[in-house]
Structure 1
Amino acid sequence: MTDADIKKPVTTDAEAGRAESGEHTADQVLVSLGYSPELQRNRSTLHVAFMSFVLAAIPYGLATTMYYPLVAGGPVDIIWGWVAVSLIVICVAASLGEITSVYPTAGGVYYQTFMLASPQWRRLAAWTCGWLYVVGNVTITLAVNFGTTLFLVGCVNVFETPEGEGVLAGEPYQVFLIFLGITFLCNAVSSLGNKWLPILDTFAIFWTFAGVLAIMVCVLAIAKEGRHDAKWVFTHFEVNSGWTPGWSFFVGLLHAAYATSSTGMIISMCEEVQAPATQVPKAMVMTVCINTIAGLMFMIPLMFVLPNLQELALLSQPVPAIIKSAIGNPGGSFGLLVPLLVLAVICGIGCTTATSRCIYAFARDGAIPGSKWWKVIDHRLDDVPLNAMMLSMVVQIILGVIYFGSTAAFNAFSGVGVIALTASYATPIIVSMLNGRQTVSTGSFFLGSFGWFCNIVAVCWSLLAIPLFCMPTTVPVIDPTTMNYASVVFVGFIAISAGWYIAWGRKNYVGPPK
């Protein structure tokens, strides 16, 4: 089979993507794209938007990584960094939405890259993008579950012993065991309760905004240690990272980038959505806008009651300490943190679900070692790719062992997740630009000349993010605990990908079925 045989005219796919709301069903569109429908389409537009919101899990995603901008720049980095990255990610979401409206499959950016690229190099481009997408999904899911673990330890430690120490020591073995429990829970719910997940995502929306409202009102009303004025909240810039001020601000953007990195993960749910060519693009953009507002609602009140920045810089999870400082007692503080903990677990379930679909889609094209096992759908569990989910879980647990060697493991997981996902999102966007955006112009979500602007912003962001989030948060690096191992983990996965391509893919991998 030649590359020319693999790819049919683009207009056929574009027409199929547009027609799904008319005489053709979404399953017929999927068949036209080369795949047999195996998953249940049980999600509407709102369900897609709600799941996309859960994947970002604002405010949980901002709470677990607030250490980075607190150290890097303080309130200015937290608030204005969030606004800046959110505006950039709207461009990323819009760019991906254009392409998804033409190619709505669970293969996501991997499939899109293959279909958009030139026949001479589409297989290598798709292989690279696919591995970046898989690695990003797995490591960001790992970062979510590990972040939940560390956040839970911080929340429990709002209660103190008579000596003034937290009641949970947080020894490496304790952290790892909690991480295992959370990981098993997320995989159990995702695999056994698939048909109930849209309801869980809907619940998460109302739960989140109720929790954010409670935190806003309580911390501002009680403010046990007083409040800063608005000028301080919106203009105070304080560097405690050791980097020069300008670069420090950028390093602190990992906070916002981590919370928005899941934007394109929802594409892997396309084959479980009733009208993915129209629903998924709209949901991606809409969710980023909602997340931007929710993030500001959560963070601005905390900045008004922020304790001493130098003291917070000593804590890996500062949000529990901020809330406790404002409320004044551990019981009330823990009560306000419960909504974030519940959202954290729901986020882990959502990421687990999306990641399993990503692995399944890549495996059915033969691109992962042992693909015949990972592409299997378990019809006993409401059509869940259980084997792919278990593969993801095992890889996460193996990587979690890194924590025994360095407490900087979470930094590595979150960093490599952001790097890999950002790079994978940029790949089909770049290929589309190289083609003059001819294919996306036939889609139902075409943005015209504004699409060019979004594409350029998305690519520039990717070029900045990849080296940026390999940097240690603080300098100088005096011991292994302050090192950023994201580059090590990233290179390790790239080596696996390259090795498998040389050993098998170069001769056997042909890409998607059309």
Structure 2
Amino acid sequence: MTIPFDNEGASLDSGLVRLHELGYKQELKRELSVISNFALTFSIISVLTCISTLYNTGLNYGGPVSMVYGWLVVCIFTMLVALSMAEICSAYPTSGGLYFWSAKLAGPQWAPFASWITGWFNIIGQWAGTTSINFSLAQLLQVIILLSTGGKNGGGYVASKYVVIAIHGGILVIHGVINSLPISILSLLAHLGAIWNVVGVFVLIILIPSVATERASVKFVFTEFNSDNGAGINSKSYIFVLGLLMSQFTLAGYDASVHMTEETKRSDINGPKGIISSVGISIVVGFCYILGITFAVTDIPYLLSEDNDAGGYAIAQIFYMSFKKRYGSGFGGIMCLVIVAIAIFFCGMGSITSNSRMAYAFSRDGAMPLSSLWHQVNKEESLGSMVAFQATVSIAVISLYVAYALPIFFRVTLAAKHFQPGPFNLSRYGIIVGWVAVIWVVLISVLFSLPVSYPITIETLNYTPIALGCLIILIVSYWIISARHWFKGPLTNTEN
């Protein structure tokens, strides 16, 4: 049902009109501007968070070459995925986003199953991503405490894994409380997060190389390939591929712009803008950060060694060592780590905001257990071992990107002839860009499921394909046994 004017004859928001046309009434407060939508997504992508926490992976698998050129490769294909998503977002600006898109694009026969599988991949990817982000913050806080009390070689406090898990739990509780606040406050925090990420990156890329008494050469930054990974892998191409995980994890989470569309003004235009601008600016800022920090790298084995002051946390050791060698104290380096920690906090906060919107939308259509609870909206407020860590990161990346790729796949196949684009569209290039995006997602899903160490043992096994395989079996089995009898895909909640 289209409602082009309000009771006083004023033209209504185009996103609200489109939402009604899609069969949904406005329940969330539509107060976000395009800047707010971008800010939240940019904070979730957070190059400070992901590059810092996975810098060890980049150094270990290929070093500077893997990080610099791997970033460029990933950026090209990620932008193609983002462009395809932006085109679909313009046509279907709803909080459910990806699973709603799949239902509309797959056609009546396949809509329920397409919606079901896409929604669950999206939910799983968001949960795994949020877990990875907040656990990385807990780990970084532990390293900050370690360095503040003297470092590993100076009798510093080394927290047990149980303490780290407890810190992780506390962070989740704090983020949950924050996300019960009104959308106006969340918008303000998103703006602060975006500003913090941009300013923080440029402070660090200027400060760290300037303070460091030893700097890498241009040749080292652009040509050094580290094949000494201690993982029993000698193939340079294989090592390079494993190193892509840092870049791909960083450039994920931009579906947040989609999940916030029902709270964004003119979402059929501003939703796509949020996706493209957040990815584009993150690409530039992230490349600057990688280069700036890598110019302070001179001894890769030492940075990765568990015997250094930061216990093998490479970024922390770089910051700490740069200040300690220059001034005799690593305090400045610890403050730089605090900058990163605050960025991770904003990233985790935004991630949970996005999670809550996806859970709200999926529950609105009855797909989540206890759906009647999760889809309620407070009318006054808004919805309220390294191998294991890397496996969680891989699960997040693969799950999110599969959820991104499924509606794109349906758009270039089943809906190729009847897709009705919105204000933002790729014109005749939409099919080509869509196919390249889908192929890229298939490729990285295979690559990030490969073993990361040889020989393969219980301790070194990449659990990603096993975990994802079990989840797929569970989701599909639930569909066959139960959900196919009652889940019909997105449900409208407006009266015709």
TM-score (norm 2): 0.90
Match of 1:344 in 2: 344
Match of 1:28 in 2: 17
Match of 1:309 among 288, 297, 300: 300
Match of 1:401 in 2: none
CA distance in 2, matches of 1:65, 1:440: 39
Match of 1:147 in 2: 136
Counterpart of 1:339, as a letter, is: I
Match of 2:223 among 235, 253, 263: 235
Contact 1:441–1:448 (Cα < 8 Å) also in 2: no
Match of 1:254 in 2: 245
SS in 1 for 2:108: coil
CA distance in 1, matches of 2:25, 2:313: 45
Contact 2:133–2:348 (Cα < 8 Å) also in 1: yes
Residue 166 of structure 1: how far off its partner (Å): 6.3
Match of 1:178 in 2: 167
Counterpart of 2:300, as a letter, is: L
Contact 1:69–1:252 (Cα < 8 Å) also in 2: yes
Match of 2:467 in 1: 489
CA distance in 1, matches of 2:152, 2:225: 34
CA distance in 2, matches of 1:166, 1:32: 64
Match of 2:255 in 1: 264
Match of 1:422 in 2: 401
Residue 110 of structure 1: how far off its partner (Å): 0.3
CA distance in 2, matches of 1:52, 1:102: 20
Compare 101-110 and 433-442 and name the one that shifted more: 433-442
Contact 1:307–1:322 (Cα < 8 Å) also in 2: no
CA distance in 2, matches of 1:277, 1:163: 52
Counterpart of 1:68, as a letter, is: T
Match of 1:334 in 2: 334
SS in 2 for 1:263: coil
Contact 1:65–1:317 (Cα < 8 Å) also in 2: no
Match of 1:318 in 2: 314
Contact 1:34–1:512 (Cα < 8 Å) also in 2: no
Contact 2:316–2:333 (Cα < 8 Å) also in 1: yes
SS in 2 for 1:420: helix
Counterpart of 1:310, as a letter, is: P
Counterpart of 1:272, as a letter, is: E
Residue 294 of structure 1: how far off its partner (Å): 0.9
Counterpart of 1:242, as a letter, is: G
Aligned counterparts, 1:337-416, within 5 A: 337-380=337-380, 382-384=381-383, 386=384, 406=385, 408-416=387-395
Contact 2:48–2:344 (Cα < 8 Å) also in 1: no
Contact 2:107–2:415 (Cα < 8 Å) also in 1: no
Unaligned runs of 5+ in 1: 1-7, 387-405
SS in 2 for 1:157: helix
CA distance in 2, matches of 1:113, 1:166: 55
Identical columns (%) = 28
Contact 2:38–2:277 (Cα < 8 Å) also in 1: yes
Q: Does residue 432 of structure 1 match 2:431?
A: no
Aligned counterparts, 1:2-401, within 5 A: 25-159=14-148, 161=150, 164=153, 167-224=156-213, 226-239=214-227, 240=229, 241-243=231-233, 244-314=235-305, 317-328=313-324, 329-380=329-380, 382-384=381-383, 386=384
Q: Does residue 477 of structure 1 match 2:456?
A: yes
SS in 2 for 1:158: helix
Q: Deviations over 1:466-485 (max 9, x none)?
A: 122223433333452x3322
CA distance in 2, matches of 1:441, 1:510: 22
Counterpart of 1:372, as a letter, is: S
Compare 439-448 and 267-276 and name the one that shifted more: 439-448
Counterpart of 1:417, as a letter, is: A
Contact 1:364–1:371 (Cα < 8 Å) also in 2: yes
CA distance in 1, matches of 2:147, 2:69: 29
SS in 1 for 2:255: helix
CA distance in 2, matches of 1:317, 1:163: 11
Q: Deviations over 1:52-71 (max 9, x none)?
A: 10010112211111111211
TM-score (norm 1): 0.87
Counterpart of 1:487, as a letter, is: P
Unaligned runs of 5+ in 2: 307-311
Contact 2:88–2:421 (Cα < 8 Å) also in 1: no
Q: Deviations over 1:342-399 (max 9, x none)?
A: 111111110001001101111111112221222111224x132x4xxxxxxxxxxxxx
CA distance in 2, matches of 1:309, 1:466: 28
Contact 2:106–2:415 (Cα < 8 Å) also in 1: no
CA RMSD for the aligned pairs?
Answer: 2.3
Counterpart of 1:192, as a letter, is: L
CA distance in 2, matches of 1:163, 1:43: 46
Contact 1:72–1:473 (Cα < 8 Å) also in 2: no
Residue 195 of structure 1: how far off its partner (Å): 2.5
Contact 2:36–2:190 (Cα < 8 Å) also in 1: yes
Counterpart of 2:427, as a letter, is: G
Q: Deviations over 1:194-220 (max 9, x none)?
A: 421111111122222322222122222
Aligned residues: 476
Match of 1:503 among 456, 459, 481: 481
CA distance in 2, matches of 1:278, 1:162: 50
Sort the Cα spacing of 1:494 and 1:166 in 2 relative to 1 into closer, same or farther, 3 A: farther
Residue 293 of structure 1: how far off its partner (Å): 1.2
Sort the Cα spacing of 1:314 and 1:474 in 2 relative to 1 into closer, same or farther, 3 A: farther
SS in 2 for 1:471: coil
Sort the Cα spacing of 1:312 and 1:439 in 2 relative to 1 into closer, same or farther, 3 A: farther
Q: Deviations over 1:146-175 (max 9, x none)?
A: 111112223333345487156231311111
Q: Deviations over 1:58-113 (max 9, x none)?
A: 12211111111211100011111112111211111100000010000011110000
Contact 2:321–2:330 (Cα < 8 Å) also in 1: no
Q: Deviations over 1:209-253 (max 9, x none)?
A: 3222221222222212x1121111011111214331101111111
SS in 1 for 2:252: helix
Residue 407 of structure 1: how far off its partner (Å): 5.2
Compare 42-51 and 322-331 and name the one that shifted more: 322-331
Counterpart of 1:283, as a letter, is: G
CA distance in 2, matches of 1:127, 1:408: 30
CA distance in 2, matches of 1:310, 1:292: 28
CA distance in 1, matches of 2:48, 2:416: 35
